[in-house]
């Protein structure tokens, strides 16, 4: 039924040994680093979203322009064929 490993410590961990690991300046530096990474990640995500939207907008505008151009060309061909027919 051993679900956990139970160990007996004959000696208590001394405060001096724990103090070796205590370093608030390092923690603060890590915190600042993570904050910067978080900010950079957010900026990158926002930039990516903005870039995607711009690409979509450009694509829509280009497609519309092409469609207009095609429609104009069609109209021109149609008008030309009517003129030729009348002549």
Partner 1 sequence: MSEAELQQEYEILERSKKDPRAFGELYEKYYDRIFRFVYRQTDDEDLTADLCSQTFLGALKNVQRYQFRGVPFSAWLYKIASNEVNKHYRKQKKVKVFSIEEIRVRELMEQANEDWDEELIERMLTFLKGLPTEMLQVLELRFFEDKDFKEIAFILDITESGAKMRTYRAIDRLRKYFNLRIKYDGKE
Residue whose entry in the numeric block shows the structure tokens 């061909």 = 77
CB of 68 to partner 1, least distance (A): 52
Distances (CA, A) of 33 to 49, 55, 60, 70: 24, 32, 40, 55
| Pick 30 or 65: Cβ nearer partner 1 | 30
* CA geometry: angle 66, 62, 80, nearest 5 deg: 15
Residues near partner 1 (CB under 8 A): 1-13, 15, 17-18, 21-22, 24, 26-28, 30-31, 34
Residue whose entry in the numeric block shows the structure tokens 């990516």 = 48
Residue whose entry in the numeric block shows the structure tokens 């064929």 = 81
CB of 10 to partner 1, least distance (A): 5
Measured from the Cβ of residue 32, the count of other Cβ atoms closer than 10 Å reads 10
| Pick 3 or 86: Cβ nearer partner 1 | 3
| Pick 26 or 67: Cβ nearer partner 1 | 26
CB of 44 to partner 1, least distance (A): 20
| Pick 5 or 84: Cβ nearer partner 1 | 5
């Amino acid at each position: 039924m051993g679900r956990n490993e139970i160990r007996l410590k004959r000696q208590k961990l001394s405060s001096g040994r724990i103090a070796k690991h205590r370093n608030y300046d390092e923690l603060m530096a890590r915190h600042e680093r993570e904050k910067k990474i978080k900010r950079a990640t957010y900026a990158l995500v926002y930039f990516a979203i903005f870039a995607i939207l711009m690409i979509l907008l450009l694509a829509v505008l280009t497609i519309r322009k092409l469609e207009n151009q095609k429609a104009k060309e069609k109209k021109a061909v149609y008008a030309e064929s009517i003129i030729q027919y009348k002549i």
